[in-house]
Amino acid sequence: MSEPESDTTERNDEQTFEAAEYAGGVVSYPPHPIGPGGTERVGTVDLREHEARVITWTTSTATPPGVREPNTLAIVEFAMGDDYDGPPVRALGQIAEQEDGSADQFDVAIGDRVEPVYADELREPGIGIREPASQSWDGFRFRPVDE
Amino acid sequence: MERVAIIGVSMTRFGQRDAWVRELLAEAGAAALTDAGIDGDDLDHLYVSNMASGEFEGQTGVPNALAHDLDAMPAYTARIDQTSSSGGAGVYAAWQSVASGASDLTLLVGGEKMTHRTTSEATDVIASLTHPVEYKHGVTLPSFAGLTARRYLDEYDAPRESLGKVAVKNHANGVDNPHAQFQKEVDLDTVLNSPVVADPLRLYDFCPITDGSAALVFCPESVAADYVPDDEYAVISGIGGATDTHVVHERVDPTTMGGVVDSAEIAYEMAGIGPDDIDVAELHDMFTILEFLQSEDLGFFEKGEGWKAVEAGVTDRDGDLPINTSGGLKSKGHPLGASGVAQVYEIFKQVTGDAGPRQVEAETGLACNVGGFGNCVTTAILEGSK
């Protein structure tokens, strides 16, 4: 069991927010072995390069073992450009904590523009039911962008 | 294809029980055999709907254990796990076993033992059904409900109070259900002022953690009257199962459950009827928002109008389309593997005229059992034999 690191949220330009592109141009996050309509994966899209907006959010006050409490979550939708005509590309993720030392999570609203912020540990592995080695525990939180 | 009848039903008291999963399953299973007037060794097939007996209490192999406890050897046995829709999937498997001719008598028992775990632990066992990219963010089924409820309220300009009225209605129905975990009414102020669990949803928008079991006995319709009086059985006139995405955020419309739409279409077509022909329905109100989504995706109401039906009393017990006369998962409780079986138990009681103080005028009823957050769905339509 690993110990949680304090303040795991930081910019990390080496981490990519990897989505899959399939033949025909459809993009999905997360990637799947087979794409919509049985299409093959033909490439990778880094979602950090696309503008994201909140389509809904919640603050959970009853969280599972190893998860911060409260835990504000959002589903965000990425703008994939005028030429993209596939299904919406979205991700579910935690809302980032403010960087003023308070550890308070940012407030968000439907329609807010957000940007991904890398965190090397989103919840503490080994505390919940899932086998720690069975998946990754790092990923991207979202924080509001001033417009 | 042989039409399939249900000739025996039972359910245990739902709630916090001292019994463990084996004992709960045996209690409901034995009672259903008695109700159908048969013995365990009459069975060809025995199915157990259960999501997580291994994770919750370290007991695996429950179908074999139940077969032995009911003296049902050498019946073929299998465990049906489809998360929260394990019960509905069990109904599908039992129906299929008889409709295909593989079995002339099938017992289905759904059950779960959960209350010995803390809420946090139980929530994590259930959340383990999620995709790794969701699980690592600490998502729970209640948080999916909060995300969806906010989107629904925003998109359809529905008042927060309308969700609370689902809880008020279903608790009122549960008062008359002797098997329900909560048999007391709640008022709207209590619901709206209860602690926030997943904003905008509060404690009373959620079903409880529950122990319990329910059971059904199936046979070909052609021989149903050999076991029970000819006005005391029900026929499965339509049934459909379907899946939606595993990753919830990949759904094109976050307020539509595609598995409900698709499974209902199959069930309606098999039964040769449409949503207007349904007299009573049991929906999977694990969270109040789910009653809105399912009532729309089953075709009872237009998209975005389900909340108005609740506000207008259409879904009350004395309304045009009573929904969750049992009290629903909200009041009756939600022992995962048992819930889909208990939904069919309630519809059976309604269409055979045996629902006591909960009785409504019903010849045809529908049960919709949802797993995950709409990930897997079974919709079943029952008609009384009268």
Check A128 against B128: CB less than 8 A apart.
Answer: yes
Q: Which amino acid is at B196?
A: V
| CA-based nearest residue in chain A for residue B150 | A56
pLDDT, tens digit (0-9, with 9 covering 90-100), for B124-169: 999 999 999 999 999 999 999 999 999 999 999 999 999 999 999 9
| Residue A1 · residue A132 · CB < 8 Å | yes
The four Cα atoms B70, B92, B50, B32 give a dihedral, to 10 degrees, of -30
Q: What is the pLDDT of residue A10?
A: 47
Query: Is residue A38's pLDDT more than 90?
Result: yes
User: pLDDT tens digits, residue range A46-96?
Assistant: 999 999 999 999 999 999 999 999 999 999 999 999 999 999 999 999 999
Q: Are the C-beta atoms of A114 and A91 separated by less than 8 Å? A: no
In tens digits, chain B (386 residues) has pLDDT values of 889 999 999 999 999 999 999 999 999 999 999 999 999 999 999 999 999 999 999 999 999 999 999 999 999 999 999 999 999 999 999 999 999 999 999 999 999 999 999 999 999 999 999 999 999 999 999 999 999 999 999 999 999 999 999 999 999 999 999 999 999 999 999 999 999 999 999 999 999 999 999 999 999 999 999 999 999 999 999 999 999 999 999 999 999 999 999 999 999 999 999 999 999 999 999 999 999 999 999 999 999 999 999 999 999 999 999 999 999 999 999 999 999 999 999 999 999 999 999 999 999 999 999 999 999 999 999 999 97
* CATH number among 3.40.47.10, 3.10.20.520, 1.10.3720.10, 3.40.50.300, domain B4-117+209-227: 3.40.47.10
Q: Is there a domain that residue A49 lies in?
A: yes
Contact A92 B196 (CB under 8 A): no
The domain limits of chain B are 4-117+209-227
Tally of structural domains, chain A: 1
| B200 close contact with A: CB closer than 8 A | yes
Write out the residue range of the structural domain in which residue A140 sits. 18-144
Task: Please report the beta strands in B95-173, taking only residues with DSSP state E, as ranges in sequence order.
Answer: 106-112
Name the closest residue on chain A to residue B129, using Cα atoms.
A130
Which residues of chain B does A71 touch, with a Cβ-Cβ cutoff of 8 Å?
Answer: 137-138, 143
Look at residue A11 and tell me if it is in a domain. no
Residue A43 CB contacts under 8 Å (≥ 6 apart), including other chains: A20, A21
Q: What's the DSSP call for residue B363?
A: S
| CB-CB neighbors (< 8 A) of A128 in chain B | 124, 127-128
Is B138 within 8 Å of chain A by CB? yes
In a domain, A2, yes or no: no
- SS3 category, B330: helix
B-chain residue closest to A121, CA distance: B136
Count of CB contacts below 8 A, A vs B? 124
- Chain A hits for B249, CB-CB cut-off 8 Å, are 75, 90-92
Q: State residue A13's pLDDT score.
A: 55
What's the complex ipTM? 0.95
In a domain, A65, yes or no: yes
β-pair partners for B217 = B8, B107
Distance CA B115, CA B16 (A): 6
Q: Which chain B residues contact residue A129 at CB under 8 A?
A: 55, 124-125, 128
The model's pTM: 0.96
Q: Which CA distances in Å does B84 have to A100, B49, B81, B89, B296?
A: 42, 10, 8, 10, 20
Which of A64, A90, A138 lies at the smallest CB-CB distance from B250?
A: A90
Instruction: For residues B371 and B83, give the distance between their C-alpha atoms in angstroms, rounded to a whole number.
Output: 5
- A66: which residues sit within 8 A by CB, 6+ positions away? A123, A124, A125, A126, A127, A128, B138
pLDDT at residue A3 greater than cutoff 50: no
CB B332 within 8 A of CB B14: yes
What distance in Å separates the CA atoms of residue A119 and residue A11, rounded to the nearest whole number?
A: 8
- Residue-wise pLDDT for B287-327, tens only, equals 999 999 999 999 999 999 999 999 999 999 999 999 999 99
Do the chains contact at B197 and A28, CB–CB below 8 Å?
A: no
Structural domain contains residue A66: yes
Q: Are B10 and B31 in contact (CB under 8 A)?
A: yes
Mutation for testing the A interface, residue in B250, B252, B293 having most A CBs under 10 Å: B250
